[in-house]
C-alpha cells in the first residue's frame, strides 16, 4: 500500500489558520468606522466580540459531546467556505441590510465564528494525526501563523485605509473573505488523516488517570489563554490611557510588536524546542513578571516593554498545552482537542472581561479618586494598573498547574514502569 503524502494537507492547515486571523483582528479595526458611518453604539460593538467568543465556545462544547457524529474530513474541507460566507455577509451588511446594518454584522460574525471555532477544534488534531519527524515543530508552526496573520491584517488594513479611506472598508473585508477559498481548494485536493484511533484498553484505572490528565491540560490552556489574551485585548488601550502614549505609537510598538514576539517565539520553538514542560513553566512565570512590572512600574517605557514582552512569554502557553496533550496522550482524538479549545476560548473571554470589570470598579472607588486628586494618576490609570496586577494571578496559578502536571505524569510514569 502506498504511503499517503500529507504535505499538501499540512500546508492547507497552515493556510487556513493564517487566514483565520482576519476573523479576530479585522472587525475591531472597523469598530470606530461602524460607529461613525452607521451609528452603531459601542455597547452593540462589544456584543459582536461576545458573539464571536460565545459562538466559538458553543462549537467547542458541541464537538466535545458529539464529535463522533460528524464527518470530520468533510467538515474540515467545508470550514474555510463557512469563513468566507460569514466575512462576505459581514462586508455586504450595508447592502443586504440597509436599514439594520448591525443585524448583518451580527449574522456575519456568528457565521465566521462557527468556522473559527471549527478551526480551533479540528486543525490541531489534523496536524497531530499526520505522520511527522517533528510533530512539535508542526504544531508550533501552525500556531505561529495565527500571530503573523494578525500582524499582516493590521499592516494591510492600515495601508488600505491610508490609500482608500475608511468609507471603503467593505472592499477590504471582501478581500479577506476571498482568501479562505484558497484554503478550501487546498483541502479539497488533500488526503485527510485518521483522527479516530482505536478505543483505549486501559481499563477503569487507566481511564481515570487519562481523564485527570486531560483535565489538567485543559486547566493549563485556560490559564495560559487568560495570560495571553488579556494583554492582546488590552495592550492598545493600556498603552494609550495608562501610559499616556499616543494610540498610533501604542498600536505599532505595542500590539504589532506583541504579535511579532508571539509569532517569533512559536517559530523558534518549532525550530529549536525539544521539551515543552520547562517552556510552559518559564512562560507562566515570565508572564507574571510582565504583568506585575506593567502594573507597578512608574516608568512608561518600562511598562511598555513589559507589555510587549508578555507576547514572548505567553506565546507557547496555548500551543504548548496542545503539544503536551499529544505527548501524554498520543492520538487522543477530536474530543480531547475540543475540550482544550473550550478551555482556551473560555480563558480568552473570561480574563479580558474580568480586567474590564476591575478597571471600572477600581476607577470609581474612593482610593482612585484620592490618587487622582493628588495628581499622581488619573482614576482610570489606577484602575488599569490594578487590572494588570489582578491578571497576574492567572499565569501564577498556571505555573502551579504546570508543576502539578509534571509531578502527576512523572508519578504515573513511575507507576507504569513498576507495574
Q: What is the pLDDT of residues 307-335, one digit of tens each?
A: 999 999 999 999 999 999 988 888 777 88
CB 91 within 8 Å of CB 174: yes
Q: Is residue 212 part of a domain?
A: yes
Which grid cell is 238?
Answer: 493600556
Sorted by sequence, the CB contacts under 8 Å of residue 296 that are 6+ apart come out as 385, 389
Higher model confidence: residue 107 or residue 366?
A: 107
Supply the pLDDT for residue 195.
67
Residue 231, exposed/middle/buried by CB under 10 A (0-12, 13-18, 19+)? buried
Average of pLDDT values for 293-304? 92
Taking alpha carbons only, the member of 213, 234, 140, 199 closest to residue 407 is 213
d(CA 15, CA 193): 17
Q: Is residue 391 pLDDT above 80, yes or no?
A: yes
Q: Is residue 42 pLDDT above 70, yes or no?
A: no
Q: Is residue 405 part of a domain?
A: yes
Q: Is residue 235 part of a domain?
A: yes
Assess whether 38 and 79 both reside in one domain: yes
Taking alpha carbons only, the member of 132, 84, 135 closest to residue 108 is 84
Supply the pLDDT for residue 61.
86
Taking alpha carbons only, the member of 30, 312, 315 closest to residue 146 is 315
Q: Is residue 197 part of a domain?
A: no
Assess whether 183 and 229 both reside in one domain: no
Higher model confidence: residue 122 or residue 419?
A: 122
Q: Is residue 199 pLDDT above 50, yes or no?
A: no
266-280 pLDDT per residue, tens: 999 988 888 899 999
Assess whether 216 and 335 both reside in one domain: yes
Assess whether 177 and 287 both reside in one domain: no
Assess whether 256 and 109 both reside in one domain: no
Sorted by sequence, the CB contacts under 8 Å of residue 356 that are 6+ apart come out as 387
Assess whether 410 and 264 both reside in one domain: yes
Q: Is residue 170 pLDDT above 90, yes or no?
A: yes
CATH number, domain with residue 74: 1.20.1250.20
Q: Is residue 195 part of a domain?
A: no
78-102 pLDDT per residue, tens: 999 999 999 999 999 999 999 999 9
Q: pLDDT band for position 387 (50/70/90)?
A: very high
Pick the last residue of a domain from 123, 156, 189.
Answer: 189
Q: Is residue 55 part of a domain?
A: yes
d(CA 128, CA 124): 6
Assess whether 271 and 147 both reside in one domain: no
Average pLDDT, the chain: 86
Q: How many domains does the chain have?
A: 2
Q: Which domain holds residue 341?
A: 202-419
Supply the pLDDT for residue 335.
84
Pick the last residue of a domain from 155, 189, 223.
Answer: 189
Q: Is residue 215 part of a domain?
A: yes
First to last CA, the chain: 37
229-288 pLDDT per residue, tens: 899 888 877 887 778 777 666 666 777 888 899 999 999 998 888 889 999 999 999 999
Give the torsion sign (CA, 312, 353, 155, 319): positive
341-368 pLDDT per residue, tens: 899 988 988 888 888 888 888 888 888 8
Assess whether 207 and 185 both reside in one domain: no
d(CA 363, CA 241): 12
Q: Is residue 47 pLDDT above 90, yes or no?
A: no
Q: pLDDT band for position 1 (50/70/90)?
A: very low
Q: Is residue 204 pLDDT above 80, yes or no?
A: no
Assess whether 131 and 239 both reside in one domain: no
Q: What is the 8-class DSSP label of residue 168? A: G
110-138 pLDDT per residue, tens: 999 999 989 888 898 899 888 888 888 88
Assess whether 44 and 81 both reside in one domain: yes
Pick the last residue of a domain from 168, 189, 210.
Answer: 189
Cβ neighbours of 285 (radius 10 Å): 16
Supply the pLDDT for residue 372.
72
Q: At what angle do helices 203-237 and 334-363 cross, to 10 degrees?
A: 40
* Percent composition of the chain: helix, strand, coil (DSSP 3-state, to 5): 85, 0, 15
Q: Is residue 383 part of a domain?
A: yes
Q: Which of 43-47, 69-73, 183-187 has the lowest mean pLDDT?
A: 43-47
d(CA 237, CA 244): 10
Assess whether 252 and 350 both reside in one domain: yes
d(CA 182, CA 22): 14
Q: How far is CA 217 from the centre of its chain?
A: 16
d(CA 22, CA 172): 11
What is the model's pTM? Answer: 0.81
Q: pLDDT band for position 33 (50/70/90)?
A: confident
Supply the pLDDT for residue 158.
80
Higher model confidence: residue 128 or residue 396?
A: 396
Count how many residues are written for the chain.
419
Give the torsion sign (CA, 165, 171, 177, 181): negative
Assess whether 338 and 390 both reside in one domain: yes
Supply the pLDDT for residue 381.
87
Amino acid at each position: 500500500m502506498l504511503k499517503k503524502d500529507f504535505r499538501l494537507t499540512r500546508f492547507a492547515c497552515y493556510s487556513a489558520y493564517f487566514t483565520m486571523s482576519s476573523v479576530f483582528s479585522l472587525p475591531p479595526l472597523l469598530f470606530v468606522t461602524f460607529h461613525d458611518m452607521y451609528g452603531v453604539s459601542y455597547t452593540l460593538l462589544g456584543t459582536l466580540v461576545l458573539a464571536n467568543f460565545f459562538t466559538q465556545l458553543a462549537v467547542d462544547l458541541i464537538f466535545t459531546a458529539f464529535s463522533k457524529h460528524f464527518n470530520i474530513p468533510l467538515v474540515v474541507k467545508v470550514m474555510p467556505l463557512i469563513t468566507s460566507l460569514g466575512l462576505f455577509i459581514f462586508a455586504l451588511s450595508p447592502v443586504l441590510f440597509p436599514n439594520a446594518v448591525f443585524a448583518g454584522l451580527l449574522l456575519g460574525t456568528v457565521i465566521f465564528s462557527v468556522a473559527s471555532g471549527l478551526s480551533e477544534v479540528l486543525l490541531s488534531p489534523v496536524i497531530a494525526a499526520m505522520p511527522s519527524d517533528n510533530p512539535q515543530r508542526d504544531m508550533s508552526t501552525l500556531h505561529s501563523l495565527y500571530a503573523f496573520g494578525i500582524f499582516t491584517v493590521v499592516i494591510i488594513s492600515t495601508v488600505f485605509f491610508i490609500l482608500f479611506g475608511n468609507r471603503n472598508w467593505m472592499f477590504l473585508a471582501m478581500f479577506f473573505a476571498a482568501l479562505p477559498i484558497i484554503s478550501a481548494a487546498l483541502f479539497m485536493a488533500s488526503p485527510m488523516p485518521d483522527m479516530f484511533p482505536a478505543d483505549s484498553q486501559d481499563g477503569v484505572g487507566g481511564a481515570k488517570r487519562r481523564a485527570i490528565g486531560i483535565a489538567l491540560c485543559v486547566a493549563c490552556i485556560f490559564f495560559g489563554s487568560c495570560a495571553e489574551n488579556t494583554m492582546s485585548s488590552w495592550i492598545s488601550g493600556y498603552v494609550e490611557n495608562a501610559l499616556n502614549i499616543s494610540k498610533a505609537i501604542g498600536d505599532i510598538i505595542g500590539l504589532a510588536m506583541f504579535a511579532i514576539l508571539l509569532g517569533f517565539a512559536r517559530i523558534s520553538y518549532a525550530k529549536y524546542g525539544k521539551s515543552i514542560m520547562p517552556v510552559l513553566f518559564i512562560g507562566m512565570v515570565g508572564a507574571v513578571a510582565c504583568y506585575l512590572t506593567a502594573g507597578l512600574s512608574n516608568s512608561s517605557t518600562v511598562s511598555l516593554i513589559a507589555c510587549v514582552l508578555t507576547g514572548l512569554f505567553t506565546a507557547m502557553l496555548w500551543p504548548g498545552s496542545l503539544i503536551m496533550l499529544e505527548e501524554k496522550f498520543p492520538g487522543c482524538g477530536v474530543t480531547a482537542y475540543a475540550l482544550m479549545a473550550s478551555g482556551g476560548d473560555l480563558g480568552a473571554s473570561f480574563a479580558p472581561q474580568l480586567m474590564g470589570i476591575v478597571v471600572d470598579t477600581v476607577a470609581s472607588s474612593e482610593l482612585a479618586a484620592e490618587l487622582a486628586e493628588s495628581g499622581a494618576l488619573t482614576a482610570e490609570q489606577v484602575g488599569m494598573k490594578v487590572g494588570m496586577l489582578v491578571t497576574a494571578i492567572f499565569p501564577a496559578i498556571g505555573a502551579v498547574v504546570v508543576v502539578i502536571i509534571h509531578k502527576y505524569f512523572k508519578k504515573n510514569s513511575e507507576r507504569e514502569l513498576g507495574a
